[in-house]
A and B are shown apart, each in its own frame.
Chain A
Amino acid sequence: MAIEPTPDTLLKLQTELNVVKAQMTDMQTKIHQRKLCELARLQRFTTDRAHRIRDQLFAAPSRHAAQIAAEEGLEPALLNAAMVRFVREMLCAAAKLRV
């Protein structure tokens, strides 16, 4: 790459370098002040939470179907199967939710 420096080229580059260094220091400070958070860690917590909710919802029919079936006078096995389908369809739709 051919470079034809003018008298202020080096100075401009050094100034720009100092700006980037300042930005880096600023970011480091914000990390220490906890104003910034690690994206990978945040994504991991969010995914773990989503998995926990999914697992609890999937386990819910087996816990509640019998009691609700008795209250409503329904066949527990049928109610459980219908609830499992409901949970599965609801979670499929929930996966498409976007803020």
Chain B
Amino acid sequence: MARELLSQREYARRRGVALQAIQRHVASGIIQLVNGKVDPVQADNSWGLIRRARTSKQDDEAGQRSARSKVVVALAKLRLSKQAFETKRELYVDRAAALELAAKEADLVLAFFRNAPAAYAETFATELCIDAAVGLRILEKFMGLALQEIGDLKTQAIRDTERA
């Protein structure tokens, strides 16, 4: 009795696969056509075996090990990337926040220097055996001259932060 031959489309439908899959295997020579038709016995014996082997392997131990290995590799890559990111993040600061801080710091230091004569005037006057008011006047004059020489602290702090 002659074997039943099927069209590629019919064979694909019966095996529950896409027509393109069958066409691909025909092109690669795994499925050999007889008068332009598929011989189901030949096709099942060649491509069918490969297909069953592939699908059955997916749930076996080797497949599980392979999946676990991929996860371990992905996990290691993720940890490395996170570590690299954290390390780099610690090396940089937000410039806007740094500028704000620099300005605040300069204001604080300047205010401290300007208030220093009043805070130290009494001790200073006692050391020199002069009146506290004179001591204050001397220190204020001194700090005025010193701060003039130092220049605009706030501008310097902002400029340094912009340069960094």
Contacts and interface: CB of A to CB of B under 8 A. Distances in A.
A99 to B, nearest CB: 5
A23 interface: yes
Contact residues of B: prevailing secondary structure: helix
B146 A37 contact: no
Contacts, number: 135
B61 interface: no
Interface band, chain A:
35 or more
B141 A68 contact: yes
B32 to A, nearest CB: 37
B: interface residue count bin: 35 or more
Given A14-B74, A23-B85, A37-B164, A68 B92 contact: no
Nearest to A16: B78
Given A20-B85, A99-B108, A90 B92 contact: no
Interface stretch (B3-11, B21-29, B35-43, B148-156): B148-156
Interface string A1-33: 101110001100110110011011001001100
